[in-house]
Chain A
Amino acid sequence: MGKINTFLTRTRGRNGPDIMDWLTYGYLFLGVALMFGPVLWLLASSFKTEAELNSFPPRLLPYKQEMITVTGYDDPLPLYIVTEGEHAGRTVAQVKRIGLSAKVLDPENPTETFKIKTSEREAVERVALATENYTELFEKFDFLRYFWNSTFITLTATIIMLIFNSMAAFALSKYEFRGRTIVLALVIGVLMVPQTVVLVPLFMIAKELYLIDTLWGVILPGAATPTGVFLLRQYMLTIPDEILDAARMDKASEWKIYWRIILPLSAPAIAVLAILAIMWRWNDFLWPLIALSRNENYTLQLALNSFQGELDTEWSNLLAMTILTLTPIALVFAFLQKYIATGIASTGGK
């Protein structure tokens, strides 16, 4: 117990690494394994063939069975090495499997076939990436369609949100008008009503507006966020009003002041909000699940979820699709992680 206390409370350790430092780095590397490991495992698995994915225990690297084209047979035949019995040591190609034995031939002498037991052979394999897991997504599945739906929803919703929220934030930070306090209270009120608790009426309103089963039905309900208004207003309050007065002196219209002066000056806050919005929209799940019903309107998230429910969907394609779904967010994170961390910390998530 004493050691744990020391571990928890030490702020700086001197005189080289002591037990506390070992525990600290032990914890951190355990964390790396637990946080990164599963994703790396998914990535490695996504390059394995379906047969490899179904074998147990799983192996770290992706292997593929060697195939050989033999004259007289249309399809390439899988290669095996015989481990026991009279043909031990020979490399053979399998023509057909019959129960516990297999009909094989010697590739160098394709006319002569013979039988071996399946327990007496081993597949000839080499390390190879099963890239067909990915290419099939474009051939067998409508991947590009889902990708486009997700991209369209994410970008459109983000742009609308940035414009609408910054306009509202501009009004709430730079104008003195009667009713401002009420509007601010209303915005806080919206904060208390997440989509999750008003699903039924939201569905009805979207239906009445002919938005159900359209991409706009996903874009519009989430386009105005109280979080965005607050974040931008907070930032705009720090912009001195003298700038506005000077612009008005020069006969600039209010709209011009908004988008030519205030918007560029709020760029840091806008950037944070844009990243958050992209993340929220790209990962959005519950409302799209309700609002979109035709397969051709599915976002990537919905497509992923529905494929994993289908019995005939193979893990190989599902894993590849998962990787492609998380890649855009991973890229955003890799390049903009500093903004994301500050943005999320300052808005309280959602």
Chain B
Amino acid sequence: MLGLLTSIMRVFEIPMAFLQRILGIKHLAWVFLAPNLILFFLFAFLPVFLNVVYALTGGDQILLRDRAFVGADNFAVLASCDNYLDPNTCQKDLFWRAVHNTGWFIVLQIGFMIGFSLLTALVLNRDIRARGFFRSVFFFPVLLSPVVVALIWKWILQRHGLMNAGLDAMGLEPVLWMLEREWTFFWSVFLSIWAHMGFYTLILLAGLQAIPRDVYEAALMDAATPFRTFSRITLPLLMPTMLVVMVLALIKGVQTFDEVYAFSGGGPGSATTLLIQYVYETGFAGAPRLFGLASAASIMLALVLVVLTGLQLWATRKNADG
């Protein structure tokens, strides 16, 4: 493997030496940047502009020359709604249901996930044995692929699954978890918390460990109650980290697709259809392929993300300064 890499690198030696001679060392920087910038241009910048073009054109053709300009029609169609709180009154009811689902999803997911992450980080920060082991136990689901996570829980929640066996053993009626809207939504939130919690726990634990010990010693000296120590020292000093964690979780939360789609397929009905799934199905899975509508929906999502990423950079900087 390393040998292969070495020979790849050696191949470029002569052309790079030649470029260095004709460009000079100063301009060689652009040669080093070129491959990355070309990929960035092709697969990140160009798509941003083209996304707008797609959103402003209609039809089911992917090639731009086959598409007719329709102005803001796609946005108008998406936004046409009598009552935004009731998706059934909207022209694109599935879009608004996806918006509602995503909203509820992130509120519940982030609320509980940060709560449990904080609790876990506080427990792991105590004077415990085998901390490394316990830390990796909470962390390892982060590495599992979304499809694997979905299948693990689907297997437990299926009709003859472990969960129903547990209910049966307690003398309760089995539940068809995957056929009831509320339960499927609940388990979607649950499995995404299960899968991602370890990541936030890790960041919060690092934040806790960065709080200087002597602050606690001073509090002990002043005979501060444990509750006061937590609310007046731990929490305020952890706030910058909490902010980073919250924004990161928001950024990922609004983009949730993989594990929920593999788990429930968005169903039953549209009970767990999230925004990205709407974009995917509008543009790629359904017929006709409404690329314009998909682009318009993803632009709305992108605007949210730009704000959130701006927040993230601000929070990270604040965290680094504070």
Tell me the bound Cα distance from A6 to B169 in angstroms. 35
Render A268-290 as a binary contact track against B, CB cut-off 8 A, 1 for contact: 00000000000100110110011
> A186, B9: Cβ atoms under 8 Å?
no
Assess whether A243 is interfacial by the CB under 8 Å rule. Answer: no
Known A-B contacts A283-B145, A285-B146, A344-B199; the reply to A168 vs B33 at CB < 8 A is yes
Assess whether B164 is interfacial by the CB under 8 Å rule. Answer: yes
> B44, A190: Cβ atoms under 8 Å?
yes
Q: In whole Å, how far is A24's beta carbon from the nearest beta carbon of chain B?
A: 5
Render B13-57 as a binary contact track against A, CB cut-off 8 A, 1 for contact: 100110010000111111011011101101111111111011000
> B62, A207: Cβ atoms under 8 Å?
yes
Categorize the interface residue count of chain A.
35 or more
Assess whether B287 is interfacial by the CB under 8 Å rule. Answer: no
Inside 8 A of B284's CB, which chain A residues have their CB? 199, 203, 290
Assess whether A308 is interfacial by the CB under 8 Å rule. Answer: yes
Tell me the bound Cα distance from A53 to B158 in angstroms. 11
> B165, A57: Cβ atoms under 8 Å?
yes
Tell me the bound Cα distance from A168 to B51 in angstroms. 27
Q: In whole Å, how far is A332's beta carbon from the nearest beta carbon of chain B?
A: 8
> A192, B230: Cβ atoms under 8 Å?
no
Number of cross-chain contacts by CB at 8 Å = 304
- Chain A residues 51-80 with CB under 8 Å of chain B are 53-58
Inside 8 A of B140's CB, which chain A residues have their CB? 35, 330, 333
Assess whether B148 is interfacial by the CB under 8 Å rule. Answer: yes
Render A305-349 as a binary contact track against B, CB cut-off 8 A, 1 for contact: 100110000010011001001100110110001001100110011
Q: In whole Å, how far is A191's beta carbon from the nearest beta carbon of chain B?
A: 6
Inside 8 A of B125's CB, which chain A residues have their CB? 11
Inside 8 A of B13's CB, which chain A residues have their CB? 253, 255-256
| A-B pairs with beta carbons under 8 Å apart, 7 shown | A12-B127, A27-B119, A39-B152, A41-B152, A201-B295, A322-B148, A349-B199
Chain A residues within CB distance 8 Å of chain B: 2, 5-6, 8-13, 20, 24-25, 27-28, 31-32, 34-36, 38-39, 41-42, 45, 53-58, 159, 163-165, 167-168, 170-172, 175, 177, 180, 183, 186-194, 196-205, 207, 209, 220-224, 226, 229, 253-256, 258-259, 279, 282-283, 285-286, 289-290, 301, 304-305, 308-309, 315, 318-319, 322, 325-326, 329-330, 332-333, 337, 340-341, 344-345, 348-350
